[in-house]
Amino acid sequence: MSRAVIVINGNYDRDRASQWARGAPTGCIIEFKQSKRTLDQNARLWACLTEIARKVDWYGQKLPADDWKDVFTAALRRTRVVPGIDAGTFVPLGMRTSDMTKQEFSDLLELINAFAAERGITFDDADENSSAAPSADEEGSGQVAPSPSAPDSSALPGDEGEAEQVEAGDGPTAGSASPDPVKSELQRECIDNMIRAATDADKAKREELVSKAYTAWLKELPDDEPFVKRVFETCCRLVEDQSQAETARKYLMAKVA
Burial class (CB in 10 A: 0-12, 13-18, 19+), 89: exposed
Claim: this prediction has a pTM higher than 0.85: no
pLDDT at 80: 66
Cross-strand partners of 83:
90
pLDDT at 129: 41
pLDDT at 9: 79
Calculate the alpha carbon distances from 69 to 39, 66, 85, 88 in Å.
16, 5, 24, 25
Please choose, from the candidates 145, 117, 121, 128, the residue with its C-alpha nearest in 3D space to the C-alpha of residue 225.
Answer: 128
What is the mean pLDDT for each group of 10 consecutive residues in the chain (257 residues)?
Answer: 74 87 88 76 87 92 90 75 84 72 88 93 60 37 36 36 40 54 86 91 86 87 89 88 88 86
CATH 1.10.3790.10 for domain 35-128, yes or no, is yes
pLDDT at 240: 80
Burial class (CB in 10 A: 0-12, 13-18, 19+), 130: buried
| Backbone CA torsion sign across 99, 110, 207, 49 | negative
pLDDT at 6: 78
CA dihedral 76, 72, 197, 238 (to 10 degrees): 50
Q: Computed over its alpha carbons, how large is the radius of gyration of the chain?
A: 21
| Helices assigned H by DSSP within the chain | 11-23, 39-55, 65-76, 102-118, 126-130, 181-198, 206-220, 225-238, 245-253
pLDDT at 241: 80
Domain ranges of the chain: 1-32, 35-128, 173-257
Give, to the nearest 10 degrees, the angle between helix 65-76 and helix 206-220: 130
pLDDT tens profile 198-256: 998 888 888 888 888 888 888 888 888 899 999 998 998 888 888 888 999 999 999 88
As a whole number of angstroms, the distance between CA 135 and CA 144 comes to 5
